[in-house]
Amino acid sequence: MMNKNLQTIVGFLLVVFGFSALVLSFVGLQLSFLTWLNFAGPGFGLVLKLLMLLGGFVLVYLAKTDFKGEG
């Protein structure tokens, strides 16, 4: 049970940070601890932020899905 809660929290944090980094990058700002995402250029940084967002949604989905009931 604790592992699923941890996955959910990490997933939500990835979604929140990924979404806020995307929105801020469209305005020309950056979160200071995510500046390393743009090391290879803004296009690569955009892809990494989108992957953060998608990965967070996948983690939350997998943590909240009951695989034992399927069968």
Per-residue pLDDT of 7-62, as tens digits, reads 999 999 999 999 999 999 999 999 999 999 888 899 999 999 999 999 999 999 99
| CA 24 to mean position of chain CA atoms | 15
Closest residue by Cα to residue 41 from 56, 53, 57, 25? 25
Percent of the chain having pLDDT more than 90?
73
Closest residue by Cα to residue 21 from 51, 49, 54? 49
Gap between the Cα atoms of 35 and 18, Å rounded: 12
Is residue 70 over pLDDT 90?
no
Is residue 69 over pLDDT 60?
yes
